Structures are given as C-alpha cells and as structure tokens.
Amino acid sequence: MQKYTADHYAFQVRDKVIKLPLFTTSLSQSRIPKLSLPKFSDWGDILRWQLTENLPGEFPYAAGVFPLKREGEDPTRMFAGEGGPERTNKRFHYVSVEQPAKRLSTAFDSVTLYGEDPAERPDIYGKIGNSGVSIATVDDAKKLYSGFDLCDPKTSVSMTINGPAPILLAFFMNAAIDQQCEQYIEKEGLQEKVRGILEHKFKDHPLPVYNGDLPHGNNGLGLALLGVSGSDVLEPEVYERIKAHALSTVRGTVQADILKEDQAQNTCIFSTEFALKLMGDVQEFFIHQKVRNFYSVSISGYHIAEAGANPITQLAFTLANGFTYVEYYLSRGMNIDDFAPNLSFFFSNGMDPEYAVIGRVARRIWAKAIKYKYKGNDRSQKLKYHIQTSGRSLHTGN
C-alpha cells in the first residue's frame, strides 16, 4: 500500500512504463488522492475485499483493468457515416480538427451492412449512403481514411460492421498497409516509378481519384496508390516488411459479433456456423501476423438490450457469447493467451440502477473464469469494454 502514498505511480503496459500522478490539487490547494484505500484491519475483511474488489489494475479487476486512467487521449469517438467515402472523410476531418488523438468510429449504410454492392436495383439504390457510408472496395476505404495516419499511436478506428466484417476489415488493413508503402515511396524518392506503373495500368481508363477538394487537415496520405496495392509497386521483401510493421501497430476495433446479430440485430448474411468460421479465420490471422493493438471482435450487449433485455440479462447473454467465442477458438487449437487480449466488449448504459455496476460485475466474472477455468494470464483476464447511452432507456424515461 505504500506505493499509493507517493506523488506518482509507475506501471508497465507491455514494454512501456507509464508514470502518472496519484494526487490532484483542488481550487483550495488541497491534495486529493485519485485512489482512496479501504481502512480494514480485520484479515477476513481484507481478504474478502481483495477477492471481490481489490485495487484497480489488480485481480479480479472490478475497479478497472489498469491502475490509473490514461492521460493525453480523451475517451471519445468521432462518429460519422453518410454518403460516399469522400463525404464521410470530410466529416471525420471536421470533427477531429485540432484533436491530439484521432478516434474515428465508422457507421456503414445498410447496403454495406448486408454485403451488397451499390447498384441501381430498386431495393438498393435509395439506401446507398443512407444513415451510413457506402464502402465497396479497397479504394473506398483508402479515401474514407485518407489524411489520417492509421499506424500513428494516437489514431484509432472503430468499424460498426458484422455480417461482412472480414471483408471490410481486409479493406481497412490494406488501406493501412498502403499508407505505409506511400510513406516509404516518398522517403525513397520512388514517385516517378510508381507514376509510371499507374499510367501503364490505367492507359485505357481514367486514373482513380478522390472526388472533390481535400478537406482541411487532409494531407493526401492514402491517395497515392488508388487502383493499385503496395505489392504492385514495391519489391516483395520491402512490401512484406512494411506490411508486418503496419499490422503490428494499427489500432482499432471491428464489431464482428455474429452471435448478437443472430440474437438481436439480424444483419446476418451467412449462416451462424460459417460466420463463426470466418471469425476464427480472422483471429488466427491476427495471431500469425502479430496484430496486437486491434480488437478482432466487440462482443456486444448493447443491441441485446435494445431488443428488450434488462441490464442483468444483457450482461448474461453478452458474457455467454464471449465464452462461446473462447470455447470455439480453443477448439480450433488457439491458445487462450494468444486471442483473449484481442476480445473487447460493448454494453449499453441507461437509467436502470444496475447499469452503475455492470462493468464491475462483468470484469469480475470474466477475470475469474479466464484465470481459474481457462488458465489465462493476467492480460487475458482483463475485460475491456466501452459503453454508449441506451436509446431504449432514454425513450422509456420520457
């Protein structure tokens, strides 16, 4: 307990040591501790507290998975999605201007959500770009996130996509890789060589371009390789090296939770069994390619609550889905500590009193199950989640 009386607290996240102040100073110049420790003297009370609550960053992580809240990056999302990729890109740059961290959250239109291409069919045409962005190609993804360095530690991208999630995730990853290829091309002065390859490939067609003027803040990163991949213009060993770096550093989340789609939201385009296989394929790819900063699934209770579940049943269904993924990935021969850190959770937060503790209860149950049943390490035991205000709860409150 002595370490919590010092002015600063240092803890390690992977290979990085983070040092944060333990006290804040009030307007009256009082020193306010960020952490208030219990004053138990009975050994039984201390043991009960350690087994059920404990300090933040300590098992069972009821008080939080890290000792202190991180600084320098607000826990916000810049949510956007409307029209084509250029229109949403402009919106992303508008809502993130002057922000030190770019935390982009992408809404897709129903055409994309159901895995269809834009078309003049009557049941598709009127829905293109409606209530979400229309994305059908890798070039669309490059335009959508152009001007944002997707491998910058302060850039994070969330994608609300489920049925065709593996395809949209592939679009995104290729966009991130090609951004790094562009930076290498500029550094090595290979622009003329690349221009020649593009002109040869598109000698009978117009070059792909970003439609309209670039918005304020968009430096054009991500647009130099429209119509081609970095693998088309760089030597194989160079491309593979850049690809490995990009995949190991890119940050974000893809929802990709097919079980809650089957239970609540229903943007299913494949059978549940095949969709689970795709999820397993993605997770195996993440393991083999050392993708450690990107969540391969956001196990979602929000949609289950919107479909009628109360906070208790929302948590029960969500954790059940999470453990189903664990069992399935283990059945495919994956190691718990290789995939559990790539899992994230998503809950709604409403007016019901149970919402005040839903995160604490979720973290405790997950940590104990992963530790005692699945023998996972401390990183696997940490349930990481985000919440959004419950539309259903607000509606019924009115």
Q: Are residues 113 and 186 in the same domain?
A: yes
**Does 43 fall in a domain?**
yes
**Does 126 fall in a domain?**
yes
Lowest mean pLDDT across 50-59, 206-215, 232-241, 383-392 = 383-392
CA distance 151 to 178: 11
Q: Are residues 47 and 190 in the same domain?
A: no
Q: Are residues 12 and 148 in the same domain?
A: no
Buried b (16+ CB within 10 A) or exposed e, 191-213: eeebeebbeeeeeeeeebebeee
How far from the centroid of its chain's Cα atoms is residue 70's Cα? 17
- pLDDT digit string (tens) for 104-114? 999 999 999 99
Give me the pLDDT at residue 15, please: 76
Coil vs helix vs strand at 255:
coil
**Does 163 fall in a domain?**
yes
Give the closest residue to 260 by CA, choosing from 206, 216, 297, 310: 297
**Does 48 fall in a domain?**
yes
- Cα–Cα distances in angstroms (integers) from residue 151 to residues 156, 175, 248, in the given order: 9, 10, 9
pLDDT confidence bin for 73, thresholds 50/70/90: low
Give the closest residue to 382 by CA, choosing from 337, 317, 347, 329: 337
Give me the pLDDT at residue 107, please: 96
Contacts of residue 256, Cβ cutoff 8 Å, sequence gap at least 6: 161, 162, 165, 166, 169, 279, 282, 296, 297, 298
pLDDT confidence bin for 70, thresholds 50/70/90: confident
Mean pLDDT score, 58-62? 94
- pLDDT digit string (tens) for 135-194? 999 999 999 999 999 999 999 999 999 999 999 999 999 999 999 999 999 999 999 999
Q: Are residues 200 and 245 in the same domain?
A: yes
Write the burial class of residue 394 (CB in 10 Å: 0-12 exposed, 13-18 middle, 19+ buried). exposed
Give me the pLDDT at residue 2, please: 72
pLDDT confidence bin for 326, thresholds 50/70/90: very high
Q: What is the percent of the chain where pLDDT is above 90?
A: 81
Q: Are residues 149 and 45 in the same domain?
A: no
Q: Are residues 94 and 12 in the same domain?
A: no
**Does 184 fall in a domain?**
yes
Residue ending a domain, choose from 205, 232, 254: 254
- pLDDT digit string (tens) for 3-49? 787 888 888 877 788 888 889 999 999 999 888 888 888 999 999 99
Mean pLDDT score, 325-349? 97
- pLDDT digit string (tens) for 183-225? 999 999 999 999 999 999 999 999 999 999 999 999 999 999 9
Q: Are residues 45 and 157 in the same domain?
A: no
Q: Are residues 33 and 102 in the same domain?
A: no
Contacts of residue 36, Cβ cutoff 8 Å, sequence gap at least 6: none
- pLDDT digit string (tens) for 269-303? 999 999 999 999 999 999 999 999 999 999 999 99
Give the closest residue to 348 by CA, choosing from 382, 380, 318, 321: 318
Q: How many domains does the chain contain in total?
A: 2
How far from the centroid of its chain's Cα atoms is residue 80's Cα? 15
Residue ending a domain, choose from 238, 254, 270: 254
Rounded to the nearest 10°, the torsion over CA 221, 171, 157, 272 is: 180
User: For residues 373 and 37, which has the higher predicted lDDT (pLDDT)?
Assistant: 373
Q: Are residues 145 and 96 in the same domain?
A: yes
Give me the pLDDT at residue 1, please: 66
Q: Are residues 125 and 41 in the same domain?
A: no
Q: Are residues 17 and 105 in the same domain?
A: no
Q: What is the mean pLDDT of the chain?
A: 93
Give me the pLDDT at residue 393, please: 66
CA distance 272 to 261: 9
Q: 103 φ, ψ to 5°? A: -115, 85
**Does 108 fall in a domain?**
yes
pLDDT confidence bin for 389, thresholds 50/70/90: confident
14: domain range? 2-52
Count the Cβ atoms, other than its own, within 10 Å of residue 217: 16
**Does 12 fall in a domain?**
yes
Residue ending a domain, choose from 254, 287, 305: 254
Q: Are residues 38 and 143 in the same domain?
A: no
Give me the pLDDT at residue 116, please: 95
**Does 372 fall in a domain?**
no
pLDDT confidence bin for 76, thresholds 50/70/90: confident
